[in-house]
A and B are shown apart, each in its own frame.
Chain A
Amino acid sequence: MSGARLCVLGAGAVGRSVVDLAEEYGHTVTAVADSSSAVVDPDGVDAAAVLQRKADEGVVGDADPEEALGGPYDVLVEATPTTLGDAEPGFSHVKQGLERDKHVVLANKGPVAERYGELRELEADSEGKIRFEATVGGAIPILSTIEDFGPTHITAARGVLNGTANFILSRMAAEGLDYEHVLAEAQDLGVAEADPTFDVEGIDAALKFVILSNVLADGDQEFTLEDAAVDGITDIPGTALDLAAEDGRTIRLIGESTPDGVSVAPRLVPADGPLSVTGTLNIVQLETTHAGRLNISGRGAGGPETATAVLSDVSRLVE
């Protein structure tokens, strides 16, 4: 198959970028839906017009979102906002896609972090496959690297997978400013959302490490957010970063996926070490059985960045 027909659910930064970039990757978007509207065209929607309408009117078209799900496509792209617990409506979207024997690519962390076992069962009963590179580390090819090595050849993963928290900590360290001050700055810059809870409390990073643990466990064990020990950065005073710096160290919000479980917490790391990335950069270290340690670093968030991961997944599925 040369290119795939895509149904894109979700018209946030990632969904819009997928619509925008799909053609460049040789794929055709045949349906787009946001929470209230949809556009369906078996010959391919006019990407520019859809994006313009979303910007101008807040809708992507005149159709009902259900029509997109029922429309003609080869790969469903689930890019609706991440929800916890039952991970709805994302989980049902994936279910419908797999029940129609279609492939599904997720950018939504919820279903993969909270209902991984069920997803894999649905996949086993389907002709379709699921991929979800975009859920962990944006543009960084982490899951495909694990896939290439084989999960049994990776003994642990750790690193920085939340750009907002990393931006705040690295700014606090560099400028000697307090948390509230830097958070306000991050919100002005658009690095932090108006409600930064998910990022600064470590939940977003924890979801990613839960997903990593699910992939590394390879069916032997299933993890959800409840299994993760999560600690955020909201209580870190500037003085703690100063003391760390005096000793050649710094503090980063580090997640770990090991056979012992999943944890996310502020940790002391060497200031000049690979884990002390600055700004919104992400990094993951993979411990391999025969090849030592891999450090993979890059942009862990952003519309076009994450869309590249989605479109790479699409290409792998239809190759």
Chain B
Amino acid sequence: MNSYTCWKNSLNIYADGTCHRSPTEQHRTREHPLSVGDNTVHPGGVEMSDTGGNVQTHTVRLELVDEPGELLRALEPISAAGGNLLSIYHERGNLTPRGHIPVEVDISCAPSRFDTIVESLREAGVNVIQAGSERYDEELVVILVGHLVDTDLSDTLRQIESCADASLTDLSLSAPRGRDETSSARIRLKTRSGTNGNALSKLEAIAEDKELQVIQPLTEASQ
């Protein structure tokens, strides 16, 4: 396990071009999470209703062998142990250093239950890369304006993911009619709890380098 403790480093390995990561592919994965429906409800009842304010969002990173049934096998212990699946992010374009597919799973459950879930995943033979310590549980949506294509949008996104310590979950690009016109992109990022301000200032710096304008959201507290 030691070789995988620093996930962000391995992410940078993918980002150097050897293994291209397509944002639109990620988007599709996001749009069709396997967690929809009643199968996510744990035996104790629906989230929030019975555990009140104790329910928190946790992120678990797993790596799976690319074989049929592997994803389902990894998810079963989670619902069996009382976790409510919020989303599954199957990073099909990527490989972990071991050559497996990384999967990021968001779970809501009481903190006490979370350890049980991780334990049962490991008991089921699922390789858990990271559990809970690095939680991407806040969302950040910004719009970038400028010459996005000319300034290498893929590079911009890579920089945002690595420097701003955020995970890109959605990209929507509105390209110009002519080359002279500016284009716009809406990007949705997941950030770690309490780091939105930091992510935004990093993002501003990246954008400034490329003379892009960032239209920021108002902070969560102000909405």
- Which residues in A have some Cβ–Cβ distance to B below 8 Å? 156, 158, 231, 235-237, 239-240, 242-244, 246-247, 249, 251, 254, 265-270, 273, 275, 285
Contacts and interface: CB of A to CB of B under 8 A. Distances in A.
Interface residues of B, number: 21
Interface string B69-95: 000000000000000000000000000
B216 interface: yes
B181 interface: yes
B184 A285 contact: no
Interface stretch (B28-36, B55-63, B138-146): B138-146
B215 A235 contact: no
19 contacts: A156-B222, A235-B145, A237-B181, A237-B183, A237-B184, A239-B174, A240-B174, A240-B184, A242-B174, A243-B186, A244-B186, A249-B217, A254-B218, A267-B215, A267-B216, A268-B143, A268-B218, A269-B218, A269-B223
Contacts of B183: 237, 239
B172 interface: yes
B156 to A, nearest CB: 16
A240 B223 contact: no
- Counting chain B CB atoms within 10 Å of each CB, the highest count among A156, A240, A269 belongs to A240
Nearest to A158: B222
A246 B218 contact: no
Contacts, number: 66
A246 B223 contact: no
Contacts of A156: 222
B222 A285 contact: yes
B186 A246 contact: yes
Contacts of A285: 222
Given A235-B182, A235-B213, A240 B218 contact: no
Interface string B173-217: 010100001111110100000000000000000000000010111
B195 to A, nearest CB: 17
A231 B217 CA distance: 14
The majority secondary structure among interface residues of chain B is strand
B172 A243 contact: yes
Contacts of A239: 174, 176, 183-184
Nearest to B145: A240
Contacts of B223: 269-270, 273
B217 A267 contact: yes
Contact of A237 (B172, B182, B222): B182
Nearest to B170: A247
A156 B176 CA distance: 38
A275 B217 CA distance: 12
A269 B143 CA distance: 12
A224 to B, nearest CB: 24
A268 B217 contact: yes
Contacts of B188: 247
B143 to A, nearest CB: 5
Given A237-B181, A237-B182, A254-B218, A247 B174 contact: no
Q: Which of A265, A267, A270 has the most CB atoms of chain B within a 10 A radius of its CB? A: A267
A268 B172 contact: no
Given A158-B222, A267-B216, A269-B218, A244 B143 contact: yes
A156 B222 CA distance: 10
A266 B145 CA distance: 11
B217 A269 contact: yes
Contact of A246 (B142, B145, B172): B172
Nearest to A254: B218
A240 B216 CA distance: 12
Contacts of A231: 213
